[in-house]
Amino acid sequence: MLGARDPTRGPARAAWDVVGVGANAVDLVNVVCRYPQPHGPFAKVRVAKRMLCCGGQITSALATCARFGLRTSYVGAIGTDEHGRLLTEALAARGVDATHAVRREAANQFAVIILDETSGERVIVWDRDPRLALRENEIPAELIRSARLLHVDDVDPDAAIAAAGIARAAGVPVTSDIDAIGDRTGALVDAVDIPVFDQHLPTRLTGVSDTESALRVIRRRHRGLLCATLGAGGAMALDGDRLHHSPGFKVKTIDTTGAGDVFRGGFIYAWLKGWPVASVLDFANAAAAISCTRIGAMNGIPSLEDVHEMIRTGERT
């Protein structure tokens, strides 16, 4: 089973530890005292703090891997506007190679985030110019073949599936960030070695009522390690027929933006280290929990020392 496979599988002298194919974003974070309501005294709420933060599913995960010392390279479409420039600078500052990213004459993907300062929860409205879609013929095959691991998301599923096919043919394992259901979700799940699902996806994908049962249904079609995030509840993984549940860590939540991306970056780091599945989940949970104590996706990425300290001393949910 993939949960126990040799984590050094791939090119003997890989140029990159992780190549990521997928989305990026610039987040306009608006902190408010509480969520606005359509009627009543909170129909109009003043912004207490406003920040411009870089994020995105794949770029935040890669920045996490880079913070932990892995060599990372990003493949995706970046706009030519000011937000695109800010994102490019943020990747460079964090040690993420973006020389294989494609540039589009379009506004970069952005999100407007309304963050409730009392709970740390948020709502997101976003937009992405169709011109930012990554095409299958833009996937750099040699770059993928030169990696120890490929990480993809579900934003441009055909490109992700094509990239996964290149990787698996070269013996490069593939992880994924799957957080929405679309026409190609099933094909994407089949294309990757280790799908990492958003907490609500397994039950929605299978129609069963709980995450464990849903993962066991998915097991009928997929032999790899299956993982699902559970928010504050931690994470769950099915390794063969053995279920692992790692409880979350109790923290004072400031902002949950990017926690799932940091989880995946932590997961990839620990898995490439060859750790047991239970330890992989613990590490990824600790990284994600710390990120929730800071505002911003990339801004919330912890250090290795922070994560190990959380594992040693943190209280579980």
- Per-residue pLDDT at 250 exceeds 80: yes
Indicate whether 119 belongs to any domain.
Answer: no
- Using alpha carbons only, how large is the chain's radius of gyration in Å? 19
- Per-residue pLDDT at 48 exceeds 50: yes
Structural domain harbouring 214: 2-23+56-103+133-313
Identify the pLDDT of residue 120.
Answer: 86
Q: What is the mean pLDDT of residues 263-277?
A: 98
- Per-residue pLDDT at 1 exceeds 80: no
Q: What is the mean pLDDT of residues 123-133?
A: 96
Count up the domains in the chain and report the number.
Answer: 1
**Among 12-16, 81-85, 200-204, 305-309, the least confident range:** 12-16
Q: What is the mean pLDDT of residues 89-113?
A: 98
Q: Which residue, 89, 129, 91, 125, is CA-closest to 107? A: 129
Q: What is the mean pLDDT of residues 190-200?
A: 97
Indicate whether 149 belongs to any domain.
Answer: yes
pLDDT above 70 covers a percentage of the chain that reads 96
Q: At 310, list the tokens.
A: 């959380």
Identify the pLDDT of residue 14.
Answer: 85
Q: What is the mean pLDDT of residues 12-21?
A: 88
Identify the pLDDT of residue 10.
Answer: 45
Indicate whether 201 belongs to any domain.
Answer: yes
CA 292 to CA 237: how far, in whole Å? 22
CATH value at residue 239: 3.40.1190.20
Indicate whether 109 belongs to any domain.
Answer: no
Q: What is the mean pLDDT of residues 283-302?
A: 97
Please give the model's pTM, rounded to 2 decimal places.
Answer: 0.94
- Per-residue pLDDT at 92 exceeds 70: yes
Indicate whether 30 belongs to any domain.
Answer: no
DSSP states of 160-216? HHHHHHHHHHTT--EEEEE-S--TTHHHHHHH-SEEEE-TTHHHHHH--SSHHHHHH
Identify the pLDDT of residue 12.
Answer: 52
- Per-residue pLDDT at 31 exceeds 90: yes
Predicted confidence band of residue 3 (pLDDT cuts 50, 70, 90)? very low
Predicted confidence band of residue 163 (pLDDT cuts 50, 70, 90)? very high
**Among 7-11, 88-92, 280-284, the least confident range:** 7-11
In the chain the first and final C-alpha atoms are separated, in Å, by 29
Average pLDDT of the chain, as a whole number? 94
Identify the pLDDT of residue 2.
Answer: 42
Q: At 316, list the tokens.
A: 């579980």
Indicate whether 125 belongs to any domain.
Answer: no
- Per-residue pLDDT at 192 exceeds 80: yes
Alpha helices in 57-171 (DSSP H): 57-67, 82-93, 141-145, 157-169
Indicate whether 38 belongs to any domain.
Answer: no
Q: What is the mean pLDDT of residues 88-92?
A: 98
CA 247 to CA 308: how far, in whole Å? 16
